[in-house]
Structure 1
Amino acid sequence: MKKESIVPFFAALEAANPTPRTELEYTSVFELLAAVLLSAQATDVGVNKATRKLFALAGSPQAILDLGLEGLEGHIRTIGLYKDKARHLLQTCRILVEQHAGVVPRTREALQALPGVGRKTANVVLNVAFGQPTMAVDTHIFRVSNRTGLAPGKNPLAVEIQLLERVPPAYAVDAHHWLILLGRYVCQARKPRCWKCVVAPWCDFGSKTPAP
């Protein structure tokens, strides 16, 4: 994608969705962290279905610890890899209570030191909770960035670095939401819906699909 196409690309996404938001449901920074941790290789819809009941009962690190492993597993059993995620979430809650007074830290280093929290999860929390212009590169953003030519890269970190360099500052905080939603609902893996894509005029994808 040509440099001069990037601003109109994001301007079109902003015009279509001025206030993009994560589709994960949460009411606190801790609930956001827990939801993102649970969302790996799972859908937001599936995570929300489980966490509505979980967070109503246990919405803090100490409350999750009080559930114990079996209690937590019972609430997230419908989420893929729930056993590993339950173990990681409990370990994370223990660290939050013992080392951070139950408060989610605001730095990447401290977040990534939590069990089950990788770079992508840390980026989501830093962006959504704390308003930092990070890029959480999931499968959708990786695909969209490469397919459109916005930020091509061979792996998620390479794409993230490209995005940080190429996305204009005015759009940086909301960019990862726009790109995720674009990939989830329009620029899909098997058959992109090019005929309904608001950024098609600036996209480098050569085999644009016609309307059915």
Structure 2
Amino acid sequence: MPFIEESDLLDLHKDIDKAQILNERLLDQIKFKNKELKRNKIQRNILAGVTSVFLLGIFALYVFNAGRRSSAPDSTNNKLVVYDLDSLDAIKSRMDNLKLKNEELSNVKEFYLAKEFLDKEKIYSVQIKSFVDNNVTLASESLTNTLFVKTNPFYSYSLGNFETIEEARSFRYQLVKMGFDDAFVASYQNGKRIQIEDPY
């Protein structure tokens, strides 16, 4: 069995804990942005409804005045209807701001959906050891970059979650340099090992 310094193991666990904290922060940000997206969508729909009613009112007033003018051509008391252009500019500016926020929130939503998709895809991890019992002190439920999977009749302990096999192979090479000569790359999907991959 390869030898690993306790300080190296602690450093490895610290790095994994930092990655987990970062993942949790990103998930919190995504949840907050999703709530903000829903709120902005409701505001945008309300603003669109108010704008539509406003424009319909202007159109109805225009039609009403046009009908009055055509029915009374000899009227000498023609009055002009004046609208405040500043209010129209303010509404247009607000609509532009809401469109910009909607685009930003759409990007966050796409990132969140991509992350959910990757959770269902095949990942690669480097298995460093197999055990007969599952009472391994190295395994922790709070570590997101470790896998502790039952592969009958053994329990396998793997480090790292990688999207590509090249990343996993690079990590395996680093572990082999540390003394884990038996480490190998395996592919996983939905928490189960699919196969052992070619190490090169």
| TM-score bin, normalised by smaller chain | 0.3 to 0.5
- TM-score of the superposed pair, with normalisation by structure 2: 0.33
Higher radius of gyration, 1 or 2? 2
After TM superposition, the score normalised by the length of structure 1 is 0.32
Larger proportion of strand: 2
